[in-house]
Amino acid sequence: MLLEGKVAIISGIGPGLGQELAYVFAREGADVVLAARTESKLQEVADTIAERWPERRTLVCPTDIGDADQTQHLVDATIAEFGRVDCLVNSAYIPPPFTMFDKADFAQWRKAFDVTVFGTLQLTQQVAEKMAEAGRGSIVFINSMIQKKPLPTQSGYASSKGALTAAARMLAKELGASGIRVNTASMGWMWGPPVESYVEYAVSTGQSREAVMAEITKDIPLGIIPDDADCANAVAFLASDMASVITGVDLNVNGGEMMM
């Protein structure tokens, strides 16, 4: 198992990639701290882990990533329960409304940045302090292909993710001396609830399912839409000791649609 004996905090637990990250980390041997705003959703994921991998321990910790006091409580609760933090996966985000740039509402951008960028970095700072004391740790930022393959109306979302890419590289440089690795994983299309809903909507407008799927996969060399679990596998690798000399990397996890 890639993560046997590890303790991992995962933010942004929710339908799609968030919950799959929790399942993959548990499957690979980690005890998992589940963080998001809605306690009932966190408990559902914890219950599923308990059913599938009863030997794993979980901690449900409702957290608004945009609130520094709540993220500090998340870290403190993890240390109290498990004694350490080995891995942090930053998956929480809020995208601003998708509009053309000339119609952008920068108040909405600021709200998104408060969570996606500043909330993530606040949690990272708080966790890194504990990792530095232990002399080791792995941090992974969940990122998006959107910053590399721009699409109209998504400048706010892309800008927030681009900020995380730059921050991760700087943190990799600064935290390396403390034994802390920092990487990002840039996701493309992922077959999970959001994309499933997109496909169903497109079909409801009269397009054939085959045509919709063909349009999505035409630029993906593997010819498939990677599913959430496959993408979570890549994150587990980056977090694991198998990647012990990998830091400052932005790993493309998108079936080859982007190769830079």
Catalytic residues, by residue number, are 157
Cα angle, residue 15 at apex, residues 69 and 57 outer, rounded to 5°: 65
120/11 Cα distance (integer angstroms): 9
Is residue 53 packed enough to be buried (19+ CB in 10 Å), middle (13-18) or exposed (0-12)?
middle
Whole-angstrom Cα distance, residue 149 to residue 186?
A: 11
Start-to-end C-alpha separation, the chain: 29
Q: Are 139 and 127 in contact (CB under 8 A)?
A: yes
183: nearest Cα among 131, 112, 230, 236: 236
